[in-house]
Amino acid sequence: MRFPLPLLALTLSLAAASCSKPATPVADKQFGEQVRGYLLEHPEVLEEVADKLQSKRQASADALIKSSLAQNKPAIERDSRDFVAGNPDGKITVVEFFDYRCPYCKAALPDINKLIATNKDVRFVLKEYPILSPTSEIAARAAMGAKAQGKYFEVHQALLNEKNLDDAAVDRILVASGVDAAKAKAAGASAAVDGYLTDTKALAKRTGVSGTPAFLIGDKMIAGWSMDQVQEAINVARKPA
């Protein structure tokens, strides 16, 4: 976008005049009136300036996210405490930060299952990020506790499919999934799970994840339920560098 020529010419002429002699209150007032008059005649200039400013800010934010994702890549993609769905040896890694009480995480589940089924080269990493309520953390700890019994993914799906998730529903889901609920709760309350949840929240802060769901693919972050964008990022990741 080029600066409008009339305003540019006006600005340059006044700038040249200001270099040849000190500015005076009269000159400053004249300059202000001329600029104001031009902008009133051409208000679209303000829209152009706002668009340019927004583009610069977005580019700066994107660059910052890319840098942060690159610096934290091992913690994002290869934390052994995370559950990996899909192909554990897949060449492309998709990471989801989610909360069991997040309505968008729940709504995205069928699309995620379809994505995993149709992209055989994808490792789908699940990061417990309970931020919405105390029940969110209870559910996350229950799922992590069920992991030791080989029931994580089954419990994970059931928790997301539960429309009215509360503490009682968490208990019911553990039992219905064939989990020893007492052992799962004990495991979920362990120092190891404390550390995992603390580390995940710290990682979210470092990488700019502020809500759920959030998907990370390579150097790209997709905030919110937008599986078309996730699939597009997977397609891009498949292309040779």
| Interstrand relation of 122-128 and 92-98 (parallel, antiparallel or unpaired) | parallel
Candidates 160, 44, 167; CA nearest to 105 is 160
Candidates 138, 150, 156; CA nearest to 197 is 138
| 127-152: pLDDT as tens digits | 999 999 999 999 999 999 999 999 99
pTM given for the model: 0.74
Residue 125 confidence (pLDDT) above 80:
yes
| 25-54: pLDDT as tens digits | 777 778 778 878 887 887 877 777 766 656
- Give ∠ CA 152-128-203 in degrees, rounded to 5: 140
Q: What is the mean pLDDT of residues 183-202?
A: 98
